[in-house]
Amino acid sequence: MDAGATALREWSSFFVIVGSSAGALTGLQFVVLTLIANAGTVPTSGETISAFGSPNVMHFCAALLVSAILSAPWHALAPAGTAVVLCGALGLLYALAVLRRALRQQSYEPVLEDWIWHAALPTLAYTTLLCSGVVLRHGSADPLYVVGAAALLLVFVGIHNAWDTVTYVTVARSAAPAVPSGGAGAGDGRSAPGGPPASR
């Protein structure tokens, strides 16, 4: 058996764990979006959700996909490396599109922590996948450590961002002043002037 295929078999348990976790945690986003939909006091827009909510599903799915690719019964590292390169390249393009949306949206003003977790770390993870896949294509199994770290980083980014969004929505909703039924601003889905403080 090819040495690369043997290395992949040794990593299979790790990628099964990461992939299973990523698949299960995708359900977090359904909870997050439900909370946002029910929190009428939190100003949101489709572009804001596309910048700070939907990418988490992409990160979980990317970790799941990479884990599935490297758990497949490859007979050599080269085709697996090619698949990882494609995942990294597509993920990097998506991360840049998310950054563009974050800069364009007007409903929320990101702070440094947001730029790190929603822009910098995903870009780092996808770039790492791209570069590691290139090395894998040349038959070296050493980058599997880096690929594993990048996939795990994507899972942690998704968990952090989902939790951060839930925390922000919860704090914003509890801090918003109550508006009598039929009063000014009732049911318009917007915060009162000087809206709720961010949880960051």
The pLDDT tens digits for 50-105 are: 888 789 999 999 999 999 999 999 988 999 999 999 999 999 999 999 999 999 98
Residue 185 lies in a domain: no
Q: Is 102 helix (H, G, I), strand (E, B) or coil?
A: helix
DSSP 76: S
Distances (CA, A) of 2 to 7, 56, 63: 9, 36, 25
Give the chain's domain count: 1
The pLDDT tens digits for 10-45 are: 999 999 999 999 988 887 777 767 766 676 655 566
Residue 80 lies in a domain: yes
Q: How many CB atoms lie within 10 A of CB 101?
A: 18
Position 47 scores a pLDDT of 76
Residue 196 lies in a domain: no
Residue 187: pLDDT over 70: no
Task: For residue 198, name the pLDDT band (cuts at 50, 70, 90).
Answer: very low
Residue 10 lies in a domain: yes
Range of the domain at 34: 3-172
Closest CA to 53 of 66, 40, 37: 37
Residue 199 lies in a domain: no
Residue 193 lies in a domain: no
* Contact yes or no for 196/172 (Cβ under 8 A): yes
Residue 179 lies in a domain: no
* Contact yes or no for 62/130 (Cβ under 8 A): no
Q: How many CB atoms lie within 10 A of CB 34?
A: 10
Alpha-carbon distance of 131 to 186, in angstroms, equals: 52
Chain mean pLDDT for the chain: 82
Residue 51 lies in a domain: yes
Residue 188: pLDDT over 70: no
135 or 53: which leads in pLDDT: 135
Task: For residue 191, name the pLDDT band (cuts at 50, 70, 90).
Answer: very low
